[in-house]
Amino acid sequence: MRAHLTARGFLRAQRRAFSATSRLSDSYGFIGLGQMGYQMAKNLQSKLPPSDSITLFDINSDAINRLAGEMRSSQSGGAAVEVSRNVYDAAKEADVVITVLPEPSHVKSVYSGILSPDLPKKERVYIDCSTIDPSSSREVARWVADAKQGQFVDAPMSGGVVGAAAGTLTFMLGAPDALVPKLEPILLRMGKRVLHCGAQGNGLSAKLANNYLLAINNIATAEAMNLGIRWGLDPKTLANIINVSTGKCWPSEVNNPVKGVVEGAPASRDYSGGFGISLMKKDLKLAIVAANEADAKLELGDRAREVYEEAERVETCKGRDFSVIYRFLGGRE
């Protein structure tokens, strides 16, 4: 019996050894090293094995060199680091290409540059974490499919720069079911949650629907707080009532726009940090575009967009967290 168990244990050990040594190394291309992408790439590289490699590109060469230097000097190891001269070079040898870019035009430009006729044929996976409109994303997915260069998926995220640095982002994934097991481990090196929303483009649809609601809830919360305070209510008392009643929402409970109501909220530090008003304006605009394409009626969308546009032109609101709408409304600080 002992000999039989020993032999069986030996075979299991052999299988484990084969499994451990047969893993092929993976090559990653990471394009877009802004505030979010910089931190995401840093987390990804640190959690990849040394046998893997990551190639970086951004139009800001200082950002590339600074991040590569930080990665190489890190004591925690991680994947080998390379820098590239352009988007084509970043993707040429990659098995996985990750892009984090500001606007639909940037995404289209980058993928036009990658999908050169000279690009070696390879079953790559392209993960676009940019927040763009679903129709633009599906257009790029068709380019990739037509070029027979692999598969393109959308994985916009929430959590902001703080979440990107901490590795706690939530990704809303639009991808075929069969591809999810391959994508999840990659995304979880940069975040803590992956929500599969269905087919390609659905991740963006989910994020834009959520951010549309958030944009309007934020304005309504600022108006309600301003109204109650002008009626003589104490701000904390009012917020506590809202947050145990039917008006409760994320802007009232977590990101309250009145200074001193929620410790650590942007309102308590002159609306610095957080989710910038320009980003909310952008996401709201994208949601309206996507709604029009889907023939979905929005009664409040255009007016909400006007509010954010007007607020962004005010010097004391520009560049601040989107809860600064309370200041724009003349809320007492």
CA dist., res. 249 & res. 257, Å (int): 12
| Contact in structure between 55 and 30 (CB atoms under 8 Å) | yes
239-275 burial, b at 16+ Cβ within 10 Å, e below that, comes to beebbeeeeebebbbebbbbbebbeebbbeeebeebb
CB 81, CB 74: distance < 8 Å:
no
Residuewise pLDDT in 10s, the chain (333 residues): 334 433 444 334 443 433 343 457 899 999 999 999 999 999 999 999 999 999 999 999 999 999 999 999 987 789 999 999 999 999 999 999 999 999 999 999 999 999 999 999 999 999 999 999 999 999 999 999 999 999 999 999 998 888 999 999 999 999 999 999 999 999 999 999 999 999 999 999 999 999 999 999 999 999 999 999 999 999 999 999 999 999 999 999 999 999 999 999 999 999 998 899 999 999 999 999 999 999 999 999 999 999 999 999 999 999 999 999 999 999 999
Which residues are catalytically annotated?
A: 207
The helix-helix angle for 202-230 and 134-146 (nearest 10°) equals: 160
The pTM of the full predicted model, rounded to 2 decimals, is 0.88
What domains can be seen in the chain, in order of their start residue?
Answer: 20-200 (3.40.50.720), 205-328 (1.10.1040.10)
